[in-house]
Amino acid sequence: MTNTAVIVDAIRSPMAKGKAPRDGRPGGALSSLHPVELLGQVLRRLVDRNGIDPAIVDDVITGCVSQVGEQSGPVGRWAWLAAGLPESVPSVTVHRACGSSQQAADFAAQAVIAGAHDIVIASGVESMSRIPMLTARIGQDPWGPSVAERYAPGLVPQGVSAELIAARRGFSRHDLDAFSARSHANATATDLGAEIVPVTLPDGTVVSADETVRPQTTVEGLAGLKPSFETPEMSARFPEIGEWKVTPGNSSQLADGASALLIMSETKARELGLRPRARFHSFALAGDDPITMLTGPIPATEKLLKRTGLTIDQIDHYEVNEAFAPVPLAWAQHFGADPARLNPRGGAIALGHPLGGSGGRLLTTALHGLEATGGRYGLVTMCEAGGMANATLIERL
């Protein structure tokens, strides 16, 4: 006998540029806020707006990628305590690279389905302005000599993986830039206020809107940006790339942000007088080639569709993380997916990609998108370092 795991609420902070202040120049809008305080405020909002006794939460599962410095240890635990919430509630931190908070939500739902827990909060946070990407490596490669030998002459940066996908799938620079301009246009045209909760800075300033979206973005403007990952070494190793195309404009933005979902059994939600807004329908995981590491969403989605018996056309809303423009473009090309259903509220190219917080942000956006359109099924899938991917299907209730 299994339980139905439902989403009662899903929220996120505003997305801010992951830029630290330096040389007298300002940082991003959330750069003055410790990541524990950022997540703590989002957790407090989630609890308060649903009127639950926080002491009945069984666990707080938190995604975070750079678990070092201010994000070291059980960052969800510190955030919970920073929010003044009960000491009796534990927390655990999850690392599945960029999919960390999506995995947190999946683990939370699976614990509810199994009957191990009644109420779980899944959350995620990343302050990329305060803890820059790759800080946790401490200057060292984490994969060790055997992996290095297996994939000699060496693994590559994700941007090179994106270039390989673009070359092998036949995407032009214009294709990438057009998709990126669309991301900003979609985010600009959508009222995202319902999914955002305001955050207060140490000086009392309240941040309540995304800082990352650029309404003025055009294909022509993006065309002037130079490729970011071209080097003589990589050009010699991968001559198939030819013209290098991946730029800051068609890649996800470094960002600061946090997200949180209130997940419980449908029975518990009814008991507490809370309205289930969606249920977790299905889950899938996949691994793929770690050289072209960003292709994982394709086999993860294939597994999910096989498991559910659904076709891609039966899904109303697709959230495919825009780590780089070739990723959702390759996914859509592979499945023949309706482009109008793909990241219709904007994606990480416009909104930013606060690593550990992004999976929860995508689930939040998918839920609000389904509610706005009356759609039934929402698919969230995320490419992850090392060639991994999560896929999660939710059903609006």
Query: In the predicted model, what is the mean pLDDT of residues 183-195?
Result: 98
Task: Give CA–CA dist 55/86, Å, rounded.
Answer: 6
Query: In the predicted model, what is the mean pLDDT of residues 337-350?
Result: 98
CB atoms within 10 A of CB 158: 21
Q: Catalytic site residue 353?
A: yes
Determine the pLDDT at residue 87.
Answer: 98
Condensed to tens digits (0 to 9), the pLDDT of residues 142-165 reads: 999 999 999 999 999 999 999 999
Task: Give CA–CA dist 189/215, Å, rounded.
Answer: 9
Q: Catalytic site residue 383?
A: yes
Task: Give CA–CA dist 136/390, Å, rounded.
Answer: 23
Determine the pLDDT at residue 2.
Answer: 80
Condensed to tens digits (0 to 9), the pLDDT of residues 290-324 reads: 999 999 999 999 999 999 999 999 999 999 999 99
pTM check: above 0.85: yes
The set of residues, in sequence order, having a beta carbon less than 8 Å from that of 62 and lying 6+ positions away, is 39, 74, 75, 76, 79, 91, 92, 93, 94, 101, 104, 122, 123, 124, 125, 356
Condensed to tens digits (0 to 9), the pLDDT of residues 10-53 reads: 999 999 999 999 999 999 999 999 999 999 999 999 999 999 99
Long-range contacts of the stretch 236-243 (C-beta < 8 A, 24+): 237/153, 238/160, 238/163, 238/164, 238/167, 240/164, 240/167, 240/168, 241/163, 241/164, 241/166, 241/167, 242/167, 243/173
- Between the alpha carbon of residue 95 and those of residues 55, 76, 138, 388, the distances in Å are 25, 12, 17, 12
Determine the pLDDT at residue 370.
Answer: 98
Determine the pLDDT at residue 1.
Answer: 58
Determine the pLDDT at residue 139.
Answer: 87
**CA angle, residues 326, 332, 337, in degrees to nearest 5:** 165
Count of alpha carbons within 13 angstroms of residue 122, beta-carbon side: 36
Catalytic residue among 98, 117, 281, 317: 98
Q: CA quadruple 263, 77, 138, 141: dihedral positive or negative?
A: negative
Catalytic residue among 64, 117, 281, 383: 383
Catalytic residue among 117, 184, 281, 353: 353
Task: Give CA–CA dist 236/376, Å, rounded.
Answer: 48
Q: Catalytic site residue 98?
A: yes
